[in-house]
Amino acid sequence: MQLEHDALMQNNTWTLVPTPLDQNVINCKWIYDVKKNTDGSFQKCKACLVATGITQKYDIDYFETFSLVVKSTTIRVVLTMAPSLGWIVRQVDVNNAFLHGILSEDIYMKQPPGFKNSQCPHYVFKLNKAIYGLKQVPRA
């Protein structure tokens, strides 16, 4: 959780601000996962802070959504063609990929459990960058 929180802070993902009275403030929660190596052995535990996008309101917190989906048939065709065309196929994992997107809407989120600012416990985060769970993240 600390590593994830530090990555969000270094990325300037949010700004701590007083709670606005006229804005929707969405919740967030921690999601946990156990990462394994290709042989099934333990690699590491991972925590991810996600916004509860279900509480977002259309025309206030978001105006447009996008679903980033690729058909498995397309992937199979490309992987089948690669050897015969001499292509080099590589897999890339971008850490915190969605956190690079800039938001065009003003979105406010509660401080995450376990990481509330002790000087401003009633303040909220104004999101500067996209965070997992928001409806507009794939578009951003």
Q: pLDDT digit of tens for each residue in the chain (140 aa)?
A: 998 899 888 888 999 999 998 888 999 999 999 988 889 899 888 898 988 877 777 666 666 666 667 788 988 999 999 999 999 998 876 666 666 677 878 889 999 989 999 999 999 999 998 888 787 765 55
Domain membership flag for residue 135: no
Domain membership flag for residue 137: no
pLDDT of residue 91: 82
pLDDT of residue 64: 65
pLDDT of residue 137: 67
Domain membership flag for residue 132: no
Domain membership flag for residue 70: yes
Domain membership flag for residue 121: yes
pTM above 0.85, yes or no: no
Structural domain including 64 reads 2-127
- For residues 35 and 43, the answer to whether their CB atoms sit within 8 Å is yes
**Shortest CA distance to 12 belongs to which of 135, 127, 140?**
127
pLDDT of residue 104: 77
Tokens coding 58: 């259309």
* 16 residue type, one letter: L
Q: Total structural domains in the chain? A: 1
